[in-house]
Amino acid sequence: MKIQKLLLTIVLLSFILTKADAENGYDLWLRYAPVPDSSLCNDYSKKIGNVVVYGQTETALVIREEMEKALSGLLNKPVDISDKEETNCGLAVYTSVDFPDINDSEEKMLIENLGDEGYLIYDSKKLNKIIVASKSDIGALYGTFYFLRLLQTNQAIDGIRIEEKPKTTHRLLNHWDNLDRTVERGYAGFSIWDWHKLPDFIDKRYIDYARANASIGINGTVVSNVNANALILTTQYLNKLAALANALRPYGIKVYLTARFSAPVETGGLPTADPLTDDVIEWWNAKVKEIYTLIPDFGGFLVKANSEGQPGPQNYNRTHADGANMLAKALAPFGGVVMWRAFVYDHNVPDDRAKQAYNEFKPLDGDFLENVFIQVKNGPIDFQPREPFHPLFGAMPKTPLMMEFQITQEYTGCATHLVYLAPMYKECLDSDTYSKGKGSTVAKVIDGSFEGHKYSGMAGVSNIGTDINWTGHPFAQANWYAFGRLAWNTDLTSEQIADEWLRQTFTNDQNFIDIVKPIMLSSREMMVDYMTPLGLHHIMARNHHWGPGPWVTGGRPDWTSVYYHRADTLGIGFDRSSTGSKAVDQYFPQVKEEFDNLVACPEELLLWFHHVPWDYKMRSGNILWDELCHHYYSGAAEANAMPEKWKSVEGLIDEERYEHVLQLLNIQAKEAVWWRNACLLYFQQFSKRPIPTKYEQPDKPLEYYQNLNFRYVPGIKN
């Protein structure tokens, strides 16, 4: 036995040393690096001692494995993890309602009230141990990860008491992954789902994917693209999906599918997909029964219908409610849900694209069944660097609305720009809709508490791929992490999330934190400045959306840049005021009043809601043109300063990731200048004003930027 323990110690030490020497980002925020402070490490060791994890479920086994991996790394020594009480046990994880050692009825009642996913962590003086307890094994897993996060971020654990439960019931990643393993808007390699080898080969990456998601409370994954392929619903692929579901289940993650509305025609041989036709209803009922036979805890369907050419109920003169409810009825007996996307627009509708989702869905409030979400993007256009919150939030009180954020950086620099998106998410979540009076934030709308909805949720469009570090840019991992943490608890701040992510992912060295956290927190505003300041939007290059393209025209108007910025010799901006497209009318009166008034409108959204003269006096005292120049130049200047700031952390983290980030920051600095020069030279044609002489003048003419042509940009099919 002594020899075995010695060998185990040698193996673990070897593993720890190898990890310290080579860091490539694969471990994400679950590195479990040794606690650097020896005194703190000793305190942890004494407090924790041996560990008992009660239960024999698959999830209980997963908790034991995670505890062993984490504590042996953090404490730099083997730790005994058992399924029954042992001497010197300082940490106990309870994975059911039995709680053999908890005698306090008040504690038991609290645990019950925290629900299936909630947990209680407390330092029990009676039992002389730290307790992690939940009503379910999945809740205990979430509690385990929370406790390990405390250790990773070097927090005190003496006397701790944590009561947690999620704000939302459905916390999902939406993969835009195709069956051929390409990823729409993916900047981190190919899809991690290897359909060719499933169901017989379960890649270890699936398990590590599940661990990472469970650690931040994500409980579902939509594995297929919203631009759906009906083949995913065939028996061949459902068998593959069942194997994937089996791998993810112990981590509390349900699988979901995108449902192509025309599947009954494409794979079922029916002449129609009309949702009110008996044969179509029967086909979907049979398909859902087949799915649940293979995957008893299947989550449900995500549907993109009648948008960007995708088929839907409107093809048959039916409503969105007709289509969604047909699927919802099939899923309801099994506990499944329908997530029906509100991202709809039609270039044949001669109105403001920003209004179309509201116009189509607001009249249907109350028509949807209980197990139907309307999944709404954070803003009314399309994941722009900055948008006002979507007017549907608060406008459909009878219908649960699921938030849809984009984690992948389609419009925010792909995977070459360091852009921390938590401030963007928080800006939307904290916005006041006034739907129930002051304080009716978007976060309170989507958590279902206002109307007592049974279901609530948040979805994030994934940025995950086969790159060794999962997300392409090492700092893009922070956006996956931030999404999960905010889906669990919308009250968290961007600062809190950045701090805990940095400490787990890189180091607890305060010098590093003090330098890098401000970079993260300012990066989103910096990006807005050098891309789309003052409410400009959708001025990216055509198709791939990488780089500037304010000159894009031709084809359907709502796929051009000129449709959105409307620059002319008089001014710039889209007039959505009460004298323009009247998009402001879709907001509640208090919000409308602010957005509608040129003087009161927040300047960061000015050109979103107003067409503003070039010589309009801004609050800074600058005229609009000079203010636009100021933002573009300050954003590019900040981007150019980032590499030097990053260089000051050399030696504080591993060399591999340090060099990787440095090279990407240099790319970002160069591309920020490209954005600045291209946009200002283009808009200068209309303003007829010079770029102030205090700024470095563009060294190339506008035609140079307009003639740049890029092929094989990641994220689109070429």
Residues annotated as part of the active site:
308, 382, 410
Burial of 523 (0-12, 13-18, 19+ CB in 10 A): buried
Angle at 480 between CA 474 and CA 486, to 5 degrees: 135
Q: Tell which residue, 486, 497, 502, has the closest CA to residue 442.
A: 486
Residue carrying the six token digits 């070097």: 154
CA distance 25 to 27: 5
Q: Pick the closest to residue 141 from 79, 225, 57 (CA basis).
A: 57
C-alpha to C-alpha distance for 413 and 408, rounded to whole angstroms: 10
Q: Which two tokens stand for residue 594?
A: 């602010």
Q: Beta 337-341 vs 300-303: how paired, if at all?
A: parallel
| Residue 323 contacts residue 277 (beta carbons within 8 Å) | no
Question: Residue 17 is encoded by which pair of tokens?
Answer: 């040393």
CA angle at residue 343 from 338 to 348, to 5 degrees? 130
E strands, 102-194, in order: 119-124, 129-133, 161-164, 170-174
Exposure string (b/e) for 396-435, b if CB count within 10 Å is 16 or more?
beebbbbbbbbbbbbbbbbbbbbbbbbbbbbbbbebbbbb
Read off the amino acid at residue 515.
Answer: I
Strands 119-124, 161-164: pairing kind: antiparallel
The SS3 of residue 89 is strand
Distance between terminal CA atoms of the chain?
60
Helix (H, G, I), strand (E, B) or coil at 571: strand
Cβ–Cβ contacts within 10 Å for residue 503, how many? 21
Reading the block at residue 267, the tokens are 């794979």
C-alpha span between 520 and 421 (Å, rounded): 9
Structural element, H or E, at residue 124: strand 119-124
Q: Decide: 715 and 185 in contact? Cβ < 8 Å.
A: yes
